[in-house]
């Protein structure tokens, strides 16, 4: 877990200096999540983790995010 956080921090710093796009952030974070999935010993659980990570495309993520941002606060 500590290694993942370190990788994530390095990735964020790199992206800040490189001016990454939202898509690059999304794909980079998915890559880190995939690495975490490969640490799971059970093949079934590993595949479920990978399916979850790969289950959403950037375009779908963007569409879902825009829908949430446009909604007024519900209290």
Please state, in angstroms and rounded to a whole number, the distance separating the CA atoms of residues 58 and 17: 22
Higher pLDDT pick, 58 / 71: 58
Residue 73 belongs to a domain: no
User: Is residue 72 domain-resident?
Assistant: no
Task: Tell me which residue of 36, 65, 37 sits closest to 51, measured CA to CA.
Answer: 37
Select the more confidently predicted residue: 17 or 12. Answer: 12
67: in domain? no
> Is 15 a domain residue?
no
Answer yes or no: is 71 within a domain. Answer: no
| Tally of domains within the chain | 1
pLDDT tens-digit readout, 28-68: 889 999 999 999 999 999 999 999 999 989 899 889 888 88
pLDDT at 47: 96
What is the reported pLDDT for 7?
A: 72
Its domain, for residue 32, covers 23-55
Alpha helices (H) in the chain, listed in sequence order? 2-18, 22-37, 43-54, 58-70
What's the rounded mean pLDDT across residues 17-25? 72
């Amino acid at each position: 877990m500590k290694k993942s956080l370190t990788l994530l921090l390095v990735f964020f710093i790199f992206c800040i200096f490189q001016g990454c796009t939202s898509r690059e952030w999304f794909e980079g974070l998915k890559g880190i999540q995939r690495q975490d999935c490969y640490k799971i010993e059970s093949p079934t659980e590993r595949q479920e983790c990978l399916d979850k990570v790969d289950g959403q495309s950037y375009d779908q993520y963007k569409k879902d995010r825009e829908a949430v941002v446009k909604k007024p606060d519900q209290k």
